[in-house]
Structure 1
Amino acid sequence: MVLATAIVVLLLGLCLLGGGAWLAWLGGSWYYLIAGLGFLATAALLAKRRRAALWVYALVVAGSLAWALWEVGLDWWQLAPRGDVIALLGLWLLMPWVAGRLRRSAEAPKPSAVSPAGLPLSLAVLASVAVGGYALATGNWGIQGRLPARHDGQALDAGVAPGDWPDYGRTAGGSRYSPLDQITPANVAELQKAWEYHTGDLRGPGDPVETTYEVTPIEIDDTLYLCTPHDIAIALDPVTGKERWRFDPKIEKNGDRQHQTCRGVSYWRSPGVAEGQACRDRIFLPTSDARLIALDAASGQPCPGFGEGGTVNLWAHMPNEQAGFYYSTSPPVVAEGLVVIGGAVNDNVSVHEPSGAIRAYDAETGKLVWNFDAGRPDRTEPLTGDETYTANSPNSWSMLSVDPDLGLVYAPMGNAPPDQFGGDRTPETERFSSSVVALDLETGQVRWVFQTVHHDLWDMDVPAQPQLVDLQRDGRSVPALVQPTKQGEIFVLDRRTGKPLLPVSEEPAPQGAAKGDHAAPTQPVSAISFRPPPLTGRDMWGLTPFDQLACRIAFRRLRYDGRYTPPSTRGSLIYPGNFGAFNWGGVAVDPVRQVIVGMPVQFAFTSRLVPRADDTTNYVSDGKPGLNENYGAPYAADMGPFTSPLGLRVPCHAPPWGTVAGIDLETGEVAWQHRNGTIRDLAPLPLPFGLGVPSLGGPVITAGGLAFASGTLDYYLRAYDVTDGRVLWKARLPAGGQTTPMSYRARDGRQYVLTVAGGHGSTHTKAGDAVIAYALPAS
């Protein structure tokens, strides 16, 4: 047993020595090299059955503990991987079948006795366990505060019944705030499942990897409406979950699509159709084969007076038409008789993508009224004949918002492909990339532009719906827009002018872009910012010292100059990555309390530019459609999450990777921020450790003082106390819940909270098709 132990210690020591020498050569910590020498000395003494092995290893354990405390203090989740294997091995060496068979230089071993030479090692191991236990018991990461209880604001929900949820974000301004207050912190523990419905639409052969449920249903006039990943529209009874109708547009499967999802449908009541007639109330369904379909809300049948047989072809006037390369994944916004819709293109396949044009159609007839083309922003009148929109222009793939009183539509804009190389962009695409654009609702003309990232080289699309709220300032109400971004900023703008209401500064950004490109000298930073602290070697993480060492080496080999490090042929670390601090899930705004609840993510990605020799070879993908190949550009882009080089699905930097936070809109201060979610559904074993995991999908807030969210990568719907962020209730979901919940009051008088558990292909959460509603017990 002693010889076998010596061999194990020798192998571990060689790993530490070799990796530690490499890390030291790269300019990193010398600890691993020194620890490796300690392991080798221990192994040599074990092979000679010398008790001195215990003394040497005691120094390794004690030195490792001291080093770990110096690097990370009493952070349990960073202490544990630094010392877990080392302490356990020390415990093993103290066992009678090892320590009892060791001797001094000349004496014979005494198999039944444990030598006093083990006392220093025993003390070192006990100290490690004690420090770890204390860190685990007292660790309190985050900000422990409270949001104010003031109620001096007013919701922008004129014309919306309090119990309804008729838009993706409940209102056209997208606050995701419900005035319902039946469910409160005092009774939320009694919440129980009211019903569960299964759509029958599941990911299957021929589907893209990112076939996902991201839908938030809407509810109006005693009916729920939703869509599935394959764009099947469904109407449900809000009390029982019973299906009332379904419409299947017969989407052909196409593996060339990057995304196969539907985030929601939109509702509109036609003033030109008499009550009781078909298509007075309409559901607008966007599809992944580039159609916009108007359905009768009562029957689910297409409205024949809209477009051709109820359908508008969104490929009209599009350049570079190719099936699967243009689609609409988000519900349109409807106001003043117009249905306004954007669209998505496959990211970074080539420099010959379709256009990112935004179009407004007559909600009654489907006739094109205006179009906004970022390549020709002043030409908003409908195109005619064989005219086409500007190819490769920034698109608006997320949800739009509208303020009918100001007559403005607000569009979150993506980047002009390719995302990681901007050397060939035009002045027009530079102006509108990664920005919020206010368009005149009647004409489509640009009223203002606010850019959130200059010369975007990181795929930092503006991902979330702009959220409209009236802020109280010096006794007056100021119309504001709240815009969360992938890079962690939350900009608060005057929605009339686009001017910041909370301070925005320009800060120097890293330089040194790839050949043929440049980096912007500065980048905007908001008063509300969830930009993570810059990473260092001590922030690298793993399950053991060995994969942590591998991550430290990987970190040192990458280029990293902080946030906005340009992509490079060497490989750059992008933190936060293009998954975003915030993505399409965005945040929720309580307009009455004037507060925000968000779920920022801190997760790094890598970005390596691969020089292209031609316009056809695949360098970073297999087969079609060639995502991130950037055919026609100088470089392909090899991107991915920054995870363990040892093949483990473990982030290379320390947790938390996902948090939940409450922000005071008056001051811009983060009042509280906590780790959010467990690794139960990420680890090989269902361990309920609350490290804080990424979330995809956003929260909603109710007037009862609760926020609800289900987007974490563990399968739960949670209720948070808006005041201090505590989790007051949670329900286990049958699959990943990467959606945004909603809340409504049904005809039985009860308030319901509804979420969809269908999983997400990109996050590898379990797939499903469940729509689940929760309510307090019926009285």
Structure 2
Amino acid sequence: MPQSPSLLLPRLVSAILLLTGLALAGGGAWLALLGGSWFYLLAGLALLASGALLWRGRAEALVVFALLLLGTLGWAIWEVGLDWWALAPRGGMLVVLGLVLLTPWVTRPLGTRARAGSGLALGLVVLATGVTAGIAMLRDPHAIEGNLPDRRIAAAPDGVPPGEWHAYGRSGLGQRFSPLDQITPQNIARLEVAWQYRTGDTRGQPGEPQETTFEVTPLKIDNRLFLCTPHQAVIALDATTGAEIWRYRPTILNDLALQHLTCRGLSWLSAAEAAAPATPPRPLDPARQADARAAVPNLPIATGGGTPSVDCGARLFMPTADGRVIALDPATGAVCRNFGDGTGQINLWANMPNPRPGGYYSTSPPVVANGVLVIGGTVLDNVSTTEQSGVIRGYDARSGALVWNWDSGAPDTTAPIPPEATYTANSPNAWSILSVDATLGLVYVPLGNQPPDQFGGNRSPAVERFSSSVVALDLTDGSLRWVFQTVHHDLWDYDVPSQPTLVDLTIGGQTVPALVQPTKQGELYVLDRRTGAPLLPVREVPAPQGAAPGDTTAPTQPVSTLSFDPPMLRGRDMWGATLVDQLACRIQLRRLRYEGRYTPPSLQGSIVYPGNFGVFNWGGIAVDPERQIAFTTPAYLAFVSRLIPRENATELYVQGGSPPPGALPALNENFGTPYAVELKPFLSPIGLPCQQPPWGYVAGADLTDGRIAWKHRNGTVRDLTPLPLPFRMGVPDLGGPIMTRGGVAFASGTLDNFVRGYDVTTGAQIWESRLPAGGQATPMTYTGTDNRQYLLVIAGGHGSLGTTAGDYVIAYALPGR
């Protein structure tokens, strides 16, 4: 006989309870066998009992469900306290089911007893749960509240006029601090768009890699802005109006084996520096130049093909994706023919082993000081053991002649390499931004590790000494002054990603020239930049052991006093939209290898936390040299690294069965090693992070004593979910912050499309503006000819992160007077 309509909804709800109970009981039993929490098994059994009773029309179903919900509330508070975003997946699904059970369509068939007794009990528990949720919404247990010190010292000048921005980090010191103070916490709410410019260069062009990104921080010199685009155009704009003045489009070699396609910025040599007597360069060897061009066939020549060229005084330097550095006239955008022996460029393929166009180039601008241009380059991470060299080279910034080369495979020989020789293949490289102290005559280089990242069984002693380190080199001859290693025997892609920040600090009553080095694992090492000795204590802590066969692990790893390293993940830290996918994450946590930070890669799969996305990445930090404080944007995402044994030298193991299109590299195959590697974020079955939020913060630290004064979640999931939900959960940031003397900081790199302003003293967010695309770049600030302070933001998106693509350059200012 057909069922009564009045029983249809109770039976449907009963079926949902039974199915959910089966999932929780089955998964919960598995988790319990793995040594995890028994809660999910017990909750599953309770749901099965409640569902069975409801199917039979018994009012006790509501009582059983009320006891389950009450027990879940107590368990959740015991595990995570009054943390709303941690409580929600534990109780949200059950509260919704509880509300459905209280509807008249469910309770009416159960009789008056359900409405008067069982229903009342369930209603009270649902109400208690709602009150608890309301209280949790008003709290942020992850926040650190406090104030940064207001003291000010007379900081040494950085040589840049107050209203300008002459290098990636404003100066070679890499502070990302402007002495401008027109914009303050009191008037920041009045900021408005002053002008907007579109470059016309967006991702999605044939042959480009997935990670095509608009990451530039423009230079501001006189009243001009200079920037480069992902596809290598160089543009000059009027800094006050945003009008285009000139555009240079270099010819770039086709079919490049690129892992990344970006240009983070340009470098500049002033006319006064260009006119200074040049260091007598090594004579250029035409045969050597020809050999380099032959190694990379058809490499374009900047002055060729009828390209306008001039004799330059001042010049801009542009790194290209095919392995060159081109010198341009800032006035016109013409190529400098008095550079590079008439070619207008430096050929970075000279003496480079294993030539493969696109496999080596500089994604970051060179540093220029004391007449020397110093540049590193990016090498493919996890393709093979036969990649190019990570050599660091110093060139005469006026002629383009090679002055010195520092090769970590031969660190004591820095004289220019003979024409017939090649640099050490597959050595640690410097893909990020360098810093320079012209007074000390030192350039500071953040180094990565030798490819591949997850296997180190064949690394040499020289590689072991310099991998994942910051080194100080003499500007004059490239000789090594000191090295500080941030990770021993790096197996986690914890290369040093950020530009070192140079600042004078008052420590122990003495003013000390310091270097602050952010790392992917969350450390801020504060070192004496003369010697590399720690100014804030660094200790060695025991590290997990047991590397894959053929490899080793370091017994200890360094940890700084000033650290944003997150606590070790536990079962209670697992997250998800519901109890079911949270349970799946707990099972993953138990099945994968995880013994805390520095758990070695393994065949079963290891959790890498912090992941290789990094607590800090190339965006670095901002430092106020007067207040001796840092504004930071730490991010937290766990990854999974699984080694896959290679049975032969050529098979593709992690490419989905087919090679990448065109010339793009087969990433993570690790040809030449025993293992390919599968790398992915640590996600739930429905694609949410397995670790609970927050995933991104802003934080302020006192650099003189290592104290973290405040820390607040930052950013929303508005652009990360199908619905534009403005939940302020704290999302990762990729792109650096800046600070100003006006007491405000700005950052635009969160994975939602906003630029935000903050009160530096308290960390409070005091302004935001919606961007038309992802802002994964470091902003900058300057003064226009109208005497207004401008905030400049790049909004172009990031290919790998999937943020909104665009080509926007946006300037904000206070309303005109």
Answer yes or no: same fold by TM over 0.5.
Answer: yes
- Alpha carbons 2:274, 2:398 under 8 Å: kept: no
Q: Tell me the equivalent position of 2:203.
A: 203
Q: Are residue 39 (structure 1) and residue 47 (structure 2) matched? A: yes
- Alpha carbons 2:256, 2:359 under 8 Å: kept: no
Further displaced range: 714-723 or 2-11: 2-11
The amino acid that maps onto 2:576 is G
For 1:68 and 1:344, the matched residues in 2 are separated by: 46
Q: Tell me the equivalent position of 1:284.
A: 317
- Alpha carbons 1:330, 1:398 under 8 Å: kept: yes
Match of 2:764 among 699, 720, 726: 726
Q: Are residue 539 (structure 1) and residue 547 (structure 2) matched? A: no
Further displaced range: 474-483 or 61-70: 474-483
Q: Are residue 122 (structure 1) and residue 123 (structure 2) matched? A: yes
For 1:628 and 1:692, the matched residues in 2 are separated by: 30
- What's the secondary structure of 1:114's corresponding residue? helix
Q: Describe how 1:496-515 pairs up with structure 2 within 5 A.
A: 496-515=530-549
Deviation at 1:701, TM superposition (A): 0.5
Q: Are residue 133 (structure 1) and residue 134 (structure 2) matched? A: yes
Q: Tell me the equivalent position of 1:758.
A: 796
Match of 1:639 among 679, 693, 711: 679
* 1:114-142 C-alpha deviation (Å, 9 max, x unpaired): 35321111111111111111111233531
For 2:452 and 2:415, the matched residues in 1 are separated by: 28
Q: Are residue 698 (structure 1) and residue 706 (structure 2) matched? A: no
For 1:8 and 1:636, the matched residues in 2 are separated by: 43
Q: Tell me the equivalent position of 1:492.
A: 526
* 1:729-752 C-alpha deviation (Å, 9 max, x unpaired): 111100000000001011110110
The amino acid that maps onto 1:177 is F
- What's the secondary structure of 2:536's corresponding residue? coil
* 1:272-324 C-alpha deviation (Å, 9 max, x unpaired): 7679x852111100011101000000001110011142111111111000122
For 2:808 and 2:151, the matched residues in 1 are separated by: 37
Indicate the percent of aligned positions where both proteins have the same amino acid. Answer: 61
Q: Tell me the equivalent position of 1:418.
A: 452
The amino acid that maps onto 2:166 is P
Match of 2:471 among 405, 421, 437: 437
Q: Tell me the equivalent position of 1:106.
A: none
Q: Tell me the equivalent position of 1:102.
A: 110
* 1:693-722 C-alpha deviation (Å, 9 max, x unpaired): 000011001000011100101111111100
Q: Tell me the equivalent position of 1:55.
A: 63
Q: 1:272 to 1:688 in 2, by over 3 A?
A: closer
Q: Are residue 170 (structure 1) and residue 170 (structure 2) matched? A: yes
- Alpha carbons 2:256, 2:322 under 8 Å: kept: no
Q: 1:93 to 1:632 in 2, by over 3 A?
A: same
Deviation at 1:540, TM superposition (A): 0.1
- Alpha carbons 2:227, 2:235 under 8 Å: kept: yes
- Alpha carbons 1:175, 1:588 under 8 Å: kept: yes
- Alpha carbons 1:153, 1:594 under 8 Å: kept: no
Deviation at 1:255, TM superposition (A): 6.2
Q: Describe how 1:135-534 pairs up with structure 2 within 5 A.
A: 135-158=136-159, 160-204=160-204, 205-252=206-253, 254=255, 256-271=257-272, 278-307=311-340, 308-534=342-568
Deviation at 1:465, TM superposition (A): 0.6
The amino acid that maps onto 1:3 is R
- Alpha carbons 2:257, 2:356 under 8 Å: kept: no
Match of 1:664 among 702, 707, 719: 702
Q: 1:192 to 1:336 in 2, by over 3 A?
A: same
- What's the secondary structure of 2:679's corresponding residue? strand
Deviation at 1:270, TM superposition (A): 3.9
Match of 1:612 among 626, 629, 646: 646
Match of 2:713 among 654, 672, 675: 675
Deviation at 1:143, TM superposition (A): 0.5
Deviation at 1:206, TM superposition (A): 2.5
* 1:240-263 C-alpha deviation (Å, 9 max, x unpaired): 111111111133454631100000
- What's the secondary structure of 1:517's corresponding residue? coil
Q: 1:535 to 1:430 in 2, by over 3 A?
A: same
* 1:573-604 C-alpha deviation (Å, 9 max, x unpaired): 11100000000011000000000000011111
Q: Tell me the equivalent position of 1:584.
A: 618
Q: Describe how 1:611-630 pairs up with structure 2 within 5 A.
A: 611-622=645-656, 623-624=659-660, 625-630=665-670
For 1:3 and 1:255, the matched residues in 2 are separated by: 61
Structure 2 gaps, min length 5: 1-8, 277-309
Deviation at 1:621, TM superposition (A): 2.1
For 1:666 and 1:580, the matched residues in 2 are separated by: 24
- Alpha carbons 1:100, 1:115 under 8 Å: kept: no
Structure 1 gaps, min length 5: 104-108
The amino acid that maps onto 1:640 is K
For 1:251 and 1:459, the matched residues in 2 are separated by: 29
Match of 1:600 among 631, 634, 643: 634
* 1:409-444 C-alpha deviation (Å, 9 max, x unpaired): 100000011111111000000011000000010000
Further displaced range: 468-477 or 250-259: 250-259
- Alpha carbons 1:142, 1:673 under 8 Å: kept: yes
Deviation at 1:647, TM superposition (A): 3.5
- What's the secondary structure of 2:363's corresponding residue? coil
For 2:326 and 2:681, the matched residues in 1 are separated by: 37
Q: Tell me the equivalent position of 1:715.
A: 753
- What's the secondary structure of 2:498's corresponding residue? coil
For 1:150 and 1:359, the matched residues in 2 are separated by: 40
Q: Tell me the equivalent position of 1:83.
A: 91
* 1:337-372 C-alpha deviation (Å, 9 max, x unpaired): 111110001111000010001111111111111111
* 1:375-401 C-alpha deviation (Å, 9 max, x unpaired): 111121112222110000000000111
- Alpha carbons 1:208, 1:255 under 8 Å: kept: no
For 1:638 and 1:45, the matched residues in 2 are separated by: 46
TM-score (norm: length of structure 1):
0.97
Q: Tell me the equivalent position of 1:20.
A: 28
- Alpha carbons 1:489, 1:525 under 8 Å: kept: yes
- Alpha carbons 1:480, 1:493 under 8 Å: kept: yes
Q: Tell me the equivalent position of 2:586.
A: 552
For 1:253 and 1:195, the matched residues in 2 are separated by: 35
- Alpha carbons 1:270, 1:364 under 8 Å: kept: no
- Alpha carbons 1:152, 1:472 under 8 Å: kept: no
Deviation at 1:640, TM superposition (A): 1.1
- What's the secondary structure of 1:329's corresponding residue? coil
The amino acid that maps onto 1:147 is L
The amino acid that maps onto 2:359 is F
- What's the secondary structure of 1:528's corresponding residue? coil
Deviation at 1:42, TM superposition (A): 1.2
For 2:356 and 2:123, the matched residues in 1 are separated by: 69
**RMSD (Å) for aligned C-alpha atoms:** 1.4
* 1:464-519 C-alpha deviation (Å, 9 max, x unpaired): 11111011234432111010000000001000000001111111111111111111
For 1:278 and 1:9, the matched residues in 2 are separated by: 79
- What's the secondary structure of 1:382's corresponding residue? coil
Paired residues in the alignment total 768
- Alpha carbons 2:541, 2:556 under 8 Å: kept: yes
* 1:155-198 C-alpha deviation (Å, 9 max, x unpaired): 4413x111110110001111111000000011111111111100
Q: Are residue 743 (structure 1) and residue 781 (structure 2) matched? A: yes
